[in-house]
Amino acid sequence: MQPPRVSIQTEDFDLSVEVAALRRGDAGVGAVATFVGTVRDRSDCGGVSRMELEHYPGMTERSIEAMIDTAHERFDIRAARIIHRVGLLEPQEQIVMVAVTSAHRAQAFEACQYLMDYLKTQAPFWKKEHTPEGARWVDARVCDDEALKLWGIVAGNAAS
């Protein structure tokens, strides 16, 4: 049985377990590309002691499912899995995983990057950084909107 394509959760994940489950029973898989993002201890505004993530249950999962559907249309991939954590996270903790299987590496790499770029800008998550100066919500960044342009997607999330 294949794992769900999208999981929003507070608990950590094990990359090797997730990749094994994604590949299980599919002899056509010739490549697996993964991305794991972690909480940094710094941001553009200084030190970060914790990151807090919120989402809108149901809407967030549907949004990410639609992203995966689009990736299947754009790339020759066999499967994809996205895990995104929410709640309070400490520096160095895993925050997000994108895993993609394909018959060939180029399609797996491209689809993984596409999903991560899309996820970073379009998924309904709200991030708050906790710093020595207090907590602040993280704004969308121009460089993330620029990354989507590589895929022909125009996003105006970041303030100019």
- Report the half-sphere exposure of 82 (CA within 13 A, side-chain side): 25
The per-residue pLDDT for range 120-139, each reduced to its tens digit, is 888 889 988 888 888 888 77
Please say whether the structural domain 6-149 has been given the CATH code 3.40.50.720: no
Q: Where are the domains of the chain?
A: 6-149
pTM for the full predicted model: 0.88
The stretches of the chain forming alpha helices (DSSP H) are: 15-23, 59-74, 105-122, 142-149
The per-residue pLDDT for range 39-97, each reduced to its tens digit, is 988 766 667 789 899 999 999 999 999 999 999 999 999 999 999 999 999 999 999 99
